[in-house]
């Protein structure tokens, strides 16, 4: 049954049975045993989502508890409440028959994971909604499956965090890594050191009551909350209120720009550790998770090297360089956390053999080799390298990034130290309006990589399953789909957005750190309402056209002229021509809109380039049709040079936006040119790789 192919993450085993379980107003959910709050609220959410998706008025919209009637439609049973901790059991089993369904789990965490799978099974036919009869057994591959949300660079209100927690639960992610402090802001209320949040923000921070609210909300969804307080670097916001912590005299001002700053706390003063012990004692009481993330990344050491007091401290303690001084600082910080019964997580820069391996987790962000190095040294580790969502990389790149791929250099015991990974959503260029579209649905692909058996994770069918997941996530209140046309309307200043959407559907933001390079003047106050902010992280229209081109070219093998007689060829030829014609004409439709919408001026030439290269594609198809009919072509080097120049121009970003369909049209033009002209002239030199084109 098709719905079984849409499950994400893919379960360990799925065994179809005959029959279906119909959803009617009499559908009931029964909880066996003594259900706790997590199960009761999870079951209530399940029933509400089931009713909302089917439109059925359930006679019993709340779960039933003992004594249960024998004919409950879905019977849920688990053995114990789960501890919201690393390595807790999240396994579950589902049995759905024609008359009744069962969900069994060791813990209530497994129940929550099972609820999500059952809701993904919901489908319908002409007789109404139903669950297909099926047996499923499932458990996660990795125990640490996280999403980092940076709320320091750009503050994210509670409703943003809550809806993303709902999205995380839907795809079985289980750790919210909450990045709360950085150079730009200190986002958590401290009652012990109130100037941290008073002076370290522009007034936007989370009160301790709000933090407890988020922790409770996450708990009911089986998600741990691990806070990050970045030290000793990325601390410009710390020293605004407490300059005595700094390693340089200042004066210090709020940091509004991005990049690595010099500010670093002073590790040579005992007062620093007394401050940090009091601060972490307060935070340890606020955040119940065993782990606290201390950052530890991107300390350039400049202030330490320039401070005579710190240099003297280093000589007195045989610390040869900033790295060894940071290792000393980390050991002191580790002792503080250990005293508070907490364990330390840090970015891979903290890796040092003098830190006790049993209570440290290394988060690898610079490369995968640091993850393996940590494992060889006996440290637990999680992978984020290759999972940075803010770099606008394609889903396929994230999905194929297995934490254990090519890790055969590790022993079986060392591989067990790799706990999983985290998708990372850094927010230098992210607002509450755009964050959902930058996280989803790509984070769902990472979630599957971290949950499902490695052999189950293949690219085949992934796009279709992510499309289904996107709809389910939107149902939860995530804005990754609906905010796109709204942002286009604002850019146009009009309800008429068709021409702009046609262009932006084919665009993506520049990749990696290129936006920072191209826009160095950006600050936390820069508007995030431009075309680059509206453009999809992954342009599905461009991807579909690329697949169309590949399918068309495949019909021409091995004999282009003979193959061109098929119905498939004709249909694909017609579809490509229609698409290119739309794009060729689009600039004329968009030009009047641009004239009255100043924000669109920066992509005006991009629109013109789309029309130009689409026209080249149509020209090649015209010549191709003539060649098929053995008509003279009259092609010369000037025509080839026109292609080369046009594609090179179209490939250049404008307004930090790339026209990613360029590669697909270039591939079509190149292939047809080569078939018609043979080796008489080279192909266009700017054709992109398949990965870039997609």
- List beta partners, residue 381: 362, 418
First-to-last CA distance in the chain? Answer: 29
> Distance (Å, rounded) from C-alpha 163 to C-alpha 515?
27
Looking at residue 511, the DSSP 8-state letter turns out to be P
> Distance (Å, rounded) from C-alpha 23 to C-alpha 115?
15
> Distance (Å, rounded) from C-alpha 281 to C-alpha 229?
13
How much is the pLDDT for 565?
Answer: 74
What is the overall mean pLDDT for the chain?
94
Neighbours of 89 (CB within 10 A): 18
SS3 state of residue 355: coil
Contact 384, 366 (CB under 8 A): no
> Distance (Å, rounded) from C-alpha 643 to C-alpha 400?
34
What residues contact residue 250 under an 8 Å CB cut-off, 6+ apart?
Answer: 239, 243
Residue 677, pLDDT above cutoff 50: yes
Tokens for 90, please give them. 């999240």
The residue whose two tokens read 């409703």 is 159
> Distance (Å, rounded) from C-alpha 499 to C-alpha 505?
10
Phi, psi of 119 (to 5 degrees): -65, -30
> Distance (Å, rounded) from C-alpha 55 to C-alpha 470?
20
Higher pLDDT, 418 or 692: 418
> Distance (Å, rounded) from C-alpha 687 to C-alpha 651?
9
With CA atoms as reference, report the closest residue to 457 among 59, 128, 22, 9. 9
How much is the pLDDT for 1?
Answer: 55
What residues contact residue 316 under an 8 Å CB cut-off, 6+ apart?
Answer: none
Helix axes 37-54, 108-121, angle to 10 degrees: 10
pLDDT tens-digit series, residues 110-138: 999 999 999 999 999 999 999 999 999 99
> Distance (Å, rounded) from C-alpha 397 to C-alpha 599?
32
What residues contact residue 320 under an 8 Å CB cut-off, 6+ apart?
Answer: 314
Q: Is the dihedral of CA 549, 551, 554, 556 positive or negative?
A: negative
Q: Is the dihedral of CA 593, 598, 599, 601 positive or negative?
A: positive
The residue whose two tokens read 């809550």 is 162
How much is the pLDDT for 689?
Answer: 38
Tokens for 241, please give them. 């209120």
H or E segment and range at residue 362: strand 360-364
Residue 682, pLDDT above cutoff 50: no
For residue 430, the Cα-to-chain-centroid distance in whole angstroms is 13
SS3 state of residue 652: coil
Widest pairwise Cα distance in the chain: 87
> Distance (Å, rounded) from C-alpha 552 to C-alpha 274?
69
How much is the pLDDT for 688?
Answer: 40
With CA atoms as reference, report the closest residue to 466 among 489, 446, 496. 446
Q: Which domains does the chain have, with CATH numbers?
A: 2-138 (3.30.379.10), 144-209+224-271+295-427 (3.20.20.80), 487-693 (no CATH)
β-bridge pairing 291-295 and 181-182: unpaired
**What does the pLDDT average to over 4-10?**
93
For residue 41, the Cα-to-chain-centroid distance in whole angstroms is 27
* Radius of gyration for the alpha carbons in the chain, expressed in angstroms and rounded: 28
Contact 292, 283 (CB under 8 A): yes
* 69: confidence class by pLDDT, cuts 50, 70, 90: confident
pLDDT tens-digit series, residues 9-59: 999 999 999 999 999 999 999 999 889 999 999 999 999 999 999 999 999
The residue whose two tokens read 């959803």 is 23
Spell out a b/e string for 362-378, using b for 16 or more CB atoms within 10 Å of the CB, else e.
bbbbeebebbbbbbebe
With CA atoms as reference, report the closest residue to 175 among 363, 336, 386, 392. 363
pLDDT tens-digit series, residues 553-609: 999 887 887 776 788 999 999 999 999 999 999 999 999 999 999 999 999 999 999
Spell out a b/e string for 439-450, using b for 16 or more CB atoms within 10 Å of the CB, else e.
bbbbbbbbbbbb
With CA atoms as reference, report the closest residue to 162 among 180, 144, 149. 149
**What does the pLDDT average to over 609-617?**
96
SS3 state of residue 448: helix
> Distance (Å, rounded) from C-alpha 465 to C-alpha 456?
13
> Distance (Å, rounded) from C-alpha 497 to C-alpha 593?
9
How much is the pLDDT for 681?
Answer: 45
The one catalytic residue among 95, 277, 298, 591: 298
Contact 613, 651 (CB under 8 A): no
Cβ burial, residue 87 (10 Å; 0-12/13-18/19+): exposed
> Distance (Å, rounded) from C-alpha 252 to C-alpha 17?
67
Tokens for 479, please give them. 């804005």
* 473: confidence class by pLDDT, cuts 50, 70, 90: very high
SS3 state of residue 588: helix
Tokens for 619, please give them. 């020209």
> Distance (Å, rounded) from C-alpha 251 to C-alpha 194?
20
Spell out a b/e string for 310-340, using b for 16 or more CB atoms within 10 Å of the CB, else e.
beebbeeeebeebeebbbbbbeebbebbeee
How much is the pLDDT for 687?
Answer: 38
Confirm whether 298 is a catalytic residue: yes
What residues contact residue 460 under an 8 Å CB cut-off, 6+ apart?
Answer: none
What residues contact residue 536 under an 8 Å CB cut-off, 6+ apart?
Answer: 437, 484, 504, 505, 507, 508
> Distance (Å, rounded) from C-alpha 61 to C-alpha 266?
58
How much is the pLDDT for 560?
Answer: 80
How much is the pLDDT for 250?
Answer: 87
Neighbours of 660 (CB within 10 A): 25
With CA atoms as reference, report the closest residue to 675 among 645, 635, 616, 615. 635
How much is the pLDDT for 494?
Answer: 93
- List beta partners, residue 380: 361
> Distance (Å, rounded) from C-alpha 343 to C-alpha 409?
27
Residue 395, pLDDT above cutoff 80: yes
Torsion, Cα 588 590 591 594, to 10 degrees, reads 180
* 684: confidence class by pLDDT, cuts 50, 70, 90: very low
Flag the least confident range among 92-96, 174-178, 616-620, 625-629.
625-629
How much is the pLDDT for 693?
Answer: 34
pLDDT tens-digit series, residues 318-366: 999 999 999 999 999 999 999 999 999 999 999 999 999 999 999 999 9
Q: Where are the beta strands (DSSP E) in 180-249?
A: 181-182, 185-186, 224-231
> Distance (Å, rounded) from C-alpha 691 to C-alpha 694?
5
The residue whose two tokens read 């993904």 is 120
**What does the pLDDT average to over 373-392?**
97
How much is the pLDDT for 675?
Answer: 87
């Amino acid at each position: 049954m098709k719905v079984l192919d849409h499950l994400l993450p893919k379960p360990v085993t799925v065994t179809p049975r005959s029959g279906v379980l119909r959803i009617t107003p009499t559908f009931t959910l029964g909880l066996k045993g003594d259900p706790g709050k997590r199960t009761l609220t999870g079951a209530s959410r399940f029933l509400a989502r089931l009713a909302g998706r089917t439109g059925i008025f359930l006679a019993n919209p709340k779960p039933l508890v003992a004594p249960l009637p024998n004919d409950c439609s879905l019977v849920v049973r688990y053995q114990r409440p789960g501890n919201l901790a690393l390595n807790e059991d999240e396994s579950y089993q589902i049995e759905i028959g024609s008359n009744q369904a069962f969900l069994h789990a060791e813990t209530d965490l497994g129940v929550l994971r099972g609820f999500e799978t059952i809701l993904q099974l919901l489908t319908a036919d002409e007789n109404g909604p139903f669950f297909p009869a099926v047996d499923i057994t499932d458990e996660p591959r990795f125990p640490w499956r996280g999403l980092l949300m940076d709320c320091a660079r750009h503050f994210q209100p509670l409703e943003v965090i809550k809806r993303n927690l709902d999205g995380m639960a839907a795809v079985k992610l289980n750790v919210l890594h909450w990045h709360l402090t950085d150079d730009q802001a200190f986002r958590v209320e401290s009652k012990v050191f109130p100037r941290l949040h008073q002076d370290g923000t522009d007034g936007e921070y989370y009160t301790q009551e709000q933090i407890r609210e988020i922790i409770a909300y996450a708990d009911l969804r089986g998600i741990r909350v691990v806070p990050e307080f970045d030290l000793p670097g990325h601390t410009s916001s710390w020293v605004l209120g407490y300059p005595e912590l700094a390693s340089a005299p200042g004066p210090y001002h709020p940091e509004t720009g991005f990049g690595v700053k010099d500010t670093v706390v002073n590790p040579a003063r005992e007062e620093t550790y007394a401050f940090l012990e009091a601060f972490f004692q307060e935070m340890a009481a606020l955040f119940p998770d065993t782990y606290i993330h201390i950052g530890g990344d991107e300390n350039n050491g400049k202030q330490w090297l320039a401070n005579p007091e710190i240099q003297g401290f280093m000589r007195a303690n045989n610390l040869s360089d900033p790295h060894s001084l940071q290792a000393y600082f980390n050991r002191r910080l580790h002792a503080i956390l250990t005293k508070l019964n907490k364990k330390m997580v840090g970015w891979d820069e903290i890796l040092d053999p003098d830190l006790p391996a049993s209570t440290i987790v290394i988060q690898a962000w610079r490369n995968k080799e640091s993850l393996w190095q940590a494992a060889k040294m006996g440290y637990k580790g999680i992978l984020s390298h290759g999972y940075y969502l803010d770099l606008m990389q394609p889903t396929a790149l994230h999905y194929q990034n297995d934490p254990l791929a090519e890790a055969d250099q590790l022993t079986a015991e060392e591989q067990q130290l790799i706990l999983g990974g985290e998708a990372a959503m850094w927010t230098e260029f992210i607002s509450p309006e755009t964050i959902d579209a930058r996280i989803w649905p790509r984070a769902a692909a990472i979630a599957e990589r971290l949950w499902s058996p490695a052999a189950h994770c293949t690219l085949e069918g992934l796009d279709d399953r992510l499309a289904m997941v996107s709809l389910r996530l939107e149902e939860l209140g995530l804005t990754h789909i609906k905010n796109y046309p709204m942002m286009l309307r604002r850019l146009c200043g009009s309800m008429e957005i068709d021409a702009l959407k046609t262009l932006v559907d084919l665009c993506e933001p520049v990749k990696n750190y290129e936006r920072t390079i191209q826009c160095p003047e950006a600050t936390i106050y820069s508007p995030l309402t431009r075309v680059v902010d509206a453009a999809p992280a992954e342009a599905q229209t461009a991807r579909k056209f690329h697949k169309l081109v590949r399918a068309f070219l495949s019909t021409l093998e091995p004999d282009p002229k003979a193959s061109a007689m098929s119905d498939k060829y004709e249909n694909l030829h017609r579809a490509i021509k229609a698409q290119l014609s739309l794009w060729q004409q689009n600039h004329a439709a968009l030009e009047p809109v641009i004239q009255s919408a100043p924000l669109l001026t920066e992509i005006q030439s991009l629109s013109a380039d789309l029309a130009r290269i689409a026209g080249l594609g149509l020209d090649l198809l015209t010549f191709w049709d003539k060649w098929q009919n053995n008509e003279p072509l009259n092609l010369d080097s000037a025509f080839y040079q026109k292609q080369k120049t046009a594609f090179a121009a179209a490939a250049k970003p404008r307004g930090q936006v790339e026209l990613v369909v360029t590669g697909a049209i270039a591939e079509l033009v190149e292939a047809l040119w080569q078939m018609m002209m043979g080796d008489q002239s080279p192909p266009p030199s700017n054709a992109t790789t398949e990965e870039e084109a997609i």
